[in-house]
Structure 1
Amino acid sequence: MDIWTLIGGIAAIFFAYRLYTVLGRREGHMEAPTPGNKPAVSTDPDKTPHLRPAFVGPAAAGLEAIAGADNRFDPDTFLTGARSAYEMIVHAFAAGDRKALEPLLAPNVLDRYTAAIDQRADRGETVRTEIDRIKTAEITEASHTDSTARIKVRFVAEIATETRDSDDVVIAGDLGRLTPVTEDWVFERRTDTGNPNWVLTRVAAV
């Protein structure tokens, strides 16, 4: 074997190793798909398959677990829905709209909200609530246990509320004054059913 053949062989081994280090590693969420965790594949034959990147942040591990059980799950889409649910629940509770609350609340939460609405009605009180804006909505915790996905969202909002008695006299609050509100809302859904809807299971002031 001459010196040039030897050098060529060494070079081939070197480039083969470099190719493996670049293409052979699993980056982000590029693990082999399983029945419950498939990478999204474009239906356009001219486009290469799209692989979802790994989640980041304090709830990353829990979000990965949820995505493993439901490959359609997307945190950004979830947060958009959570913000809408926040506004709908706050307004429906103030208006005493039980039917609007039913599909959005877990049974235990619905019972508490309904009891509060009934007590308010017995006193002849009415409530108006206006959300000026939701400043932030951030996923702070996530988990998937026993086929139940659970996500905690911290909402920071500016809200004005006012309560009037049966004589239409203001007895609490002021619609002209915004109050900063920070709350943790916990949403849950079953991942072993075809129902994609999340329900509110707990609210805690921060």
Structure 2
Amino acid sequence: MQYFDIIIFAVLAGYLGIKLYRTLGRNTKIENHPSNEKFMKNTKDEALNKKPEVVTEKDSSALKGEGLDYLRNIQPNFDEKKFLLGANKAYEMIIEAKNEGNKKFLLSLLEDDVFRSFEKEILDREIKGNIIEATKVKVSRSEITDCKVDNNIAYLTVNFNYEIGTLIKASDGSVVSDNLKELDEFSSNWIFSRALDSEDPNWKLYSI
């Protein structure tokens, strides 16, 4: 009985060996097909030539929701030049409106915190009895220095270089200060914000 078992195992081993040879030991037509060899070569070449993905500092900022590239990706119609032209005009108009005490106009261009700050400045001036009779303000240079998007709200920081002169008089009409002929030069950063899903295309002054 023991010898019979050995014979059976030997036959099975031989049979499996033949099947294994037929399956793995011979080349099939598919393996030898020229197009298959070409495919394998091309796949190998692509693997060798493919460069690793590199995230630059610029790309890294975009991935974090920062940078103008990121803003352009989610808002393709954003035009940096047009924005700055509008920001320059807004800067001059806001300064003039603040000096004139035009709170209604300021309310349409400022976020609440900035408006309250400007309103306090206007009130303090009125308490002192001072009146700004004339204002000259001109932006000479502007540049977007930072861009962030958070909760679908874009925040753009703009650096303004500008010249400004004012004529301030006291309640009795005496001149407190007058530098309209020789404008002073200043630089300041303002942050504008806008909800990207808003139908209103206008940006508001978010922070100074």
> Secondary structure in 1 aligned to 2:108?
coil
Partner of 1:130: 136
> Secondary structure in 2 aligned to 1:183?
strand
Counterpart amino acid of 2:119? T
Could you tell me how far 1:69 is from its partner in structure 2? 2.5
Could you tell me how far 1:181 is from its partner in structure 2? 0.9
Matching of residue 147 in structure 1 with residue 152 in structure 2 = yes
> Secondary structure in 2 aligned to 1:71?
coil
Partner of 1:198: 203
State the structure with more CA Rg: 2
Could you tell me how far 1:144 is from its partner in structure 2? 1.1
Per-residue displacement from partner, 1:151-196 (whole Å, max 9, x unpaired)? Answer: 1111111111232110111223422221001111110111122222
Matching of residue 180 in structure 1 with residue 185 in structure 2 = yes
Rounded to whole Å, the distance in 2 between the matches of 1:134 and 1:116 is: 22
C-alpha RMSD of matched pairs (Å): 2.7
Q: How many residues align?
A: 151
Rounded to whole Å, the distance in 2 between the matches of 1:80 and 1:175 is: 24
Rounded to whole Å, the distance in 1 between the matches of 2:201 and 2:74 is: 12
Partner of 1:161: 166
Could you tell me how far 1:65 is from its partner in structure 2? 1.7
TM-score by length of 1: 0.66
Rounded to whole Å, the distance in 1 between the matches of 2:161 and 2:188 is: 7
Partner of 1:41: none
Unaligned runs of 5+ in 2: 1-57
Unaligned runs of 5+ in 1: 1-55
Which structure features the higher share of helix residues?
Answer: 2
Partner of 2:23: none
Identity of aligned residues (%): 32
Could you tell me how far 1:126 is from its partner in structure 2? 0.7
Partner of 2:31: none
TM-score by length of 2: 0.65
